[in-house]
Amino acid sequence: MEVHSGIEPMIHLTLFLLFGGICVAGAVNLLAQRHPINSALSLVVVMGSLAGEYLLLGAEFVAAIQVIIYAGAIMVLFVFVIMLLNAGEEERTGGSRVALLFGVPGMLIGTVLMAWVLLERSGTQAVSMGALPGAPKTIGWLLFHDFLLPFEVTSVLVLIAIMGAVVLASHPESVQQRNKER
């Protein structure tokens, strides 16, 4: 392995922080938006910045798949479902006391616990660029052999979520109208 000195690691770190900042800003914007289409576009920004992070890690194939499959095909599916549901601007509520009472302390405890586990108990060490599997053949073997069940479960969960969203967003008036016509 060749050790680089000088400006190259600084550029790598700068790009990593830039893409990470864009990813976090896109995620915050996703949550702050009132209109679902704007949230979907913010999710495209998050996925694009993640593809940049993958490129920095030397996983070009994963970055290309991130852009083609997730930022492309999956987001088209999400926008199609949003348009099918005719979702308008979201109503703002004051929030729930239960969410504030349990959610905020739960998030703080979870964050502290995760940080402690990652910093103290992870047992991981730095890995040089390109040391992890990144060739398409290796990724394909891992995805369709070692991780086939989680891959398929994820696709079924996405399908169930879309069906649930369509059912939940159906207007009661249209359901009553269909029942009267029968």
- CB half-sphere exposure, 157, CA atoms < 13 A: 6
Distance separating alpha carbons of residues 119 and 31, to the nearest angstrom: 28
Give the burial class of 162: count Cβ atoms within 10 A of its Cβ; 0-12 exposed, 13-18 middle, 19 or more buried. Answer: middle
Residue predicted with more confidence, 3 or 128: 128
Kindly state the average pLDDT of the residues 31-47: 89
Domain count, the chain: 2
Closest alpha carbon to 67 in 82, 83, 45: 45
Contact 30, 39 (CB under 8 A): yes
Tell me if the pTM is above 0.85: no
Residue 86 maps to a domain: yes
Res 141: pLDDT: 84
Give the domain CATH number at 25.
Answer: 1.20.120.1200
Instruction: Tell me what pLDDT residue 1 has.
Output: 46
Q: Between 9 and 87, whose confidence is greater?
A: 9
> Are residues 82 and 162 located together in one domain of the fold?
no
Residue 157 belongs to some domain of the structure = yes
Range of the domain at 77: 1-90+129-134
For residue 162, how many C-alpha atoms fall within 13 Å in the half-sphere facing its CB?
A: 16
Structure tokens at 169: 């967003």
pLDDT of residue 23: 93
pLDDT of 79 higher than 70: yes
